[in-house]
Amino acid sequence: MKKLGIILILLLAVTAYADEGMWLLTQLDQLKLKEQGLEIPLEAIYSPDKVSLTDAIVWLGGCSSSFVSPDGLILTNHHCAYGALQRASKEGSDYIKNGFLARTRGEEIQAIGSTASVLQEMRDVTDDVLGTAAGITDPVERAKKIDEKIRAMTEKIENGREDILAQVIAMYKGKQYILFVYKRYRDVRIVYAPPASIGKYGGDIDNWMWPRHTGDFTFMRVYQAPDGSGATYSPDNVPVTPKNYLRVARDHLKKGDFTFILGFPGSTNRWRTSNSAGWNLKYNFPETVQNFQEIIDILDETTRDSEEGRIRVASLRSGLANTMKNYQGQIEGMTKTGFLQKKKDFEKELMDFITGDRKLKQKYGDVLDRIRDQYAVLAETKTKDDILGLFGFANGTISSLAGQIWGVAMERAKPASERNPGFNEEAIDRNVANLHYQFYNYFEPADKAMLKRVLTRASALPAGDRLEKLDALLAGASVDAFVEKAYAASKLTDVEFAKTLFKKSPKELKALNDPFINIAAAIYDEQEANGKRTEVFNATIQELRKEYLDALYAWKGAGLYPDANSTLRFTYGHVAGYTPADAVWYEPFTTLKGVVEKNTGVEPFDMPAKLGELYENKDYGTWMHPDLNDVCVGFTHRCDITGGNSGSAVMNARGELIGLAFDGNYEAMTGDWQYDYDMQRTISVNIHYVLFVAEKFGGAGFLLEEMGIN
């Protein structure tokens, strides 16, 4: 990892606070962790050659988790298993609402669509990647060459094996590249999930808020084939025996205790310029909030009288609501703190320094202007691009599926040299084999309403931005009539039929005269043009952002961690409360008493009666916190996390499991853009509450025995 110590990045704050940072595993020796309170050697956390805590950390794709037993048992958040619980549910068996417990291995149910990946190797490949693009000045061609090199490297490592995942990830916006190789297991099963009245207690009302009283956890188990390969589900598969698993802390947390997290944070924007911040504050965040709220309203209205419908859309609705509230918090936080103006003031100081030096001015003097110009180009086609962006995620399962089918056919029809670098027949075959997963979220009334909404918005585009081929397809018909006729006429709702279409040519697809395929064909040219614009913007802005980072380094010369990008990171901090407003102080611990106090008997504060009985009888087992005289439910600490960290293991100074990270606090929603030492907190569920619920409420004491807890 020779370049990790020399490639530096500057955050807005210029120098890191203690407790700040989402650090690469190879940067731990920079952090003076022993002085902060760590009691174990750094190699116990991460070692490329020896067994370490990192070997117990599991990536679930959009969430994090960890092995907690020698028999493949993993622990993650309830909301991370939400989609799997939804897909396993059906009318009369609602595992989200009622929870689930497998008392034997044979009763464990598939976490359909879930995979579990464990890091095997990481190494710097910067020279190999950048060397392939040496001398290329055109940013688009440079980006294509780099993508081709990365694809060749990863395909060679994977060698057709679906249980090996290789990724080459850009750090510092392409100043460095690191290869990550994972063992991927494709048989994950649900073991114990509490009911939503515990696992999602407080619902959207309490989401991102403190004090919090949510038991956000689920146990799952990872299986492999008898030969050790990460095979798909089979009754013959056996539990994985991990290299390492986490041991549970029996000591109780106290204020000021050292904590650390290992997990997979998704993305942050801490080194972005005011242009990016302003674009998101003015356009992206408000429009996403509006879009998501309208879709949520559609889902609620169309499933109001259908239990099947509510189950079908549960995961989609939950994800939309979670992201929407996050963006609402970012808007509020940016506005309240004057974040955008502070960014501009910071950049003025930077440019004053740059222009004061002749060589630096020549090199970086116009970098902010050139970045601003790129956003101006983006704004020119924004009205049309916004509508095109709705096709593919907001237009319903069937219309989205048609877009995939048509896109594959059109890409395959191109000469090989002109195809998207990511086009891969093996990947298409895998997607086709898994196509049925898309239908787990399909509920026709909601699907129709979503498509009607998108087509109505497209029909309202102003002159000059019209989607002319789509207008011709509708031919003056009302959107409602067109959509109703489309669903009555199409065979795409049959998943097996849909699978057969991925091998057909554009001519063969057109001959079907399927209304959804016709929609996809009508907007394809516009989407291609949009894709080209995006390609140019992304390639150009990446090069400019690297220049901006260089300018920052020339000014301050302070190096820190790269922005989050779904790679395994370390973050640390101490248990602490905070002051959210004048004359208000939040303690860092919540208790079972608080669960009872919030109970109204009405969702989302519908505490199970049995939980109330355990509280009334003070039947806490061995899980009572002696200082709180109650079971500790959740706690806040200064660890620095973002989306993707959900389910991450929280450990104490001795590397013992003390909880699961599941949220950040609303008052610090600008944390993806800047770190706030005084305000930003991670919200975690206490491991003792997890075990209390599993043992005393769920009757899953055998899981504690498996974890080595006597």
Residues with active-site annotation: 79, 216, 646
Distance, in Å, from the CA atom of 689 to the CA atom of 658, rounded to the nearest integer, reads 10
Region of 286 (left: φ > 0; alpha: ψ -120 to 50; beta: rest) is alpha
The phi, psi pair for 259, rounded to 5°, reads -135, 155
Amino acid at site 617:
N
Instruction: Yes or no: say if 646 and 661 are a contact pair by the CB < 8 Å rule.
Output: yes
Cα 15 to Cα 38, 136, 557, 561, 583: the distances in Å are 22, 34, 10, 11, 30
Instruction: Yes or no: say if 60 and 114 are a contact pair by the CB < 8 Å rule.
Output: yes
List the structure tokens of 549.
């980072």
Long-range pairs for 552-559: beta carbons < 8 A, 24 or more residues apart: 552/10, 552/271, 552/350, 553/8, 553/9, 553/10, 554/354, 554/360, 554/364, 555/10, 555/350, 555/353, 555/354, 556/10, 556/14, 557/8, 558/8, 558/10, 558/14, 558/15, 559/7, 559/8, 559/9, 559/10
Distance, in Å, from the CA atom of 42 to the CA atom of 30, rounded to the nearest integer, reads 11
3-state secondary structure 267-280: CCCCCCCHHHHHHH
Distance, in Å, from the CA atom of 261 to the CA atom of 19, rounded to the nearest integer, reads 11
Residues 6+ apart with CB under 8 A from 473: 518, 519, 522
Instruction: Yes or no: say if 112 and 440 are a contact pair by the CB < 8 Å rule.
Output: yes
Distance, in Å, from the CA atom of 275 to the CA atom of 340, rounded to the nearest integer, reads 9
Distance, in Å, from the CA atom of 144 to the CA atom of 610, rounded to the nearest integer, reads 59
SS3 618: coil
Instruction: Yes or no: say if 432 and 495 are a contact pair by the CB < 8 Å rule.
Output: no
List the structure tokens of 666.
């609303």
Distance, in Å, from the CA atom of 355 to the CA atom of 342, rounded to the nearest integer, reads 20
Q: Which of 213, 242, 339 is nearest to 285 (CA)?
A: 339
User: Tokens 């994972």 — which residue?
Assistant: 182
Amino acid at site 15:
T
Q: Which of 524, 515, 521 is nearest to 448 (CA)?
A: 515
